[in-house]
Structure 1
């Protein structure tokens, strides 16, 4: 599997990583969710080179994760805003935050606390079933091949690729 061909893989994780799968892109998205919108803000906050920042922002715009919105006409200045597709990455970012808060903190504890605006309490992301509402963990999920993918996707499930069945 070649990095530049990830978007062609029969795997939704690979296709997603083709857009958001490098460290700078995830950090840029983190900052977007924290309210950063302007190129110079990203540059100064992240210490990233202009070339790399330009490349990552361009890719996010091309993939409709961010959109450029003018905030000044003369000279034209634009800021970057999350699109609906970009906002849909919020659970991904929150899951990474939760994992980092659980496994990567030191004696100072969590660096940022997330508060649910409606109830005012500290919160952690929880995955629930979209049908029954029950909380779901990795052990509660079975993976099956999508109806239009056949053998190409079937090979992604290791015990199915060798002809074995899961229980």
Structure 2
């Protein structure tokens, strides 16, 4: 795992957990229900020794765990809570990757499993339901900010009278 330049930056921590592009690729497979080693290998086209090494790294980082109920021969894996917490990031990244493509040019889309209707993932505030990809949302230092974060980000702005 790479060392963050600013140790208390949440973006750097996230990048440190992801570390390599294949982290998201393997997690995507497992979160999509392809939990058996052979299935993951077939979908990704990764040599067995390389995939074994990468899964060991993801297990050591706490993103995957072995599914002991799978039986011998073809091991299975499941995401940990930390691994599952990256699913929204995968969905938003897929939406970003499709953003500039016409609907008919998209190779993978996200759909509602029940209805089959395509959805467009967005990030919203849990309390207000407001989209966060608009103006009016900024980074501010948190209560445990270190020197580098404090130098870069302001204190939390004074609350304005905004509709909720």
Closer/same/farther in 2, CA of residues 17 and 52 from structure 1, 3 Å limit:
farther
Report what 1:97 is aligned to.
Answer: 94
Correspondence 1:64-143 to 2 at 5 A: 64-70=62-68, 71-72=70-71, 75=72, 77-103=74-100, 105=101, 109-117=105-113, 120-137=116-133, 139-143=135-139
Shift of the alpha carbon at 1:29? Answer: 1.5
| Larger RCO (CA under 8 A, 6+ residues apart) | 2
Give runs of aligned pairs for residues 52-71 of structure 1, distance below 5 A: 52-70=50-68, 71=70
Q: TM-score by structure 2 length?
A: 0.78
The number of residue pairs the alignment matches comes to: 153
Q: What is the Cα-based RMSD across aligned positions, in Å?
A: 2.6
2:11 is aligned with 1:13: yes
Give the gaps of 5 or more residues in structure 2: 155-164
- Structure with higher helix content: 1
Contact 2:65 2:79 survives alignment (8 Å): yes
Question: 2: CA distance between counterparts of 1:156 and 1:59?
Answer: 33
Shift of 1:62: 1.9
Gaps of 5+ in 1: 161-167
2:140 paired with 1:150:
no
Q: Residues 118 and 47 of structure 1: is their aligned pair in 2 closer, same or farther, counting only changes over 3 Å?
A: closer
TM-score (norm. length: structure 1): 0.77
Partner of 1:165: none
Shift of 1:120: 4.6
2:37–2:74 CA contact under 8 A, matched in 1? no
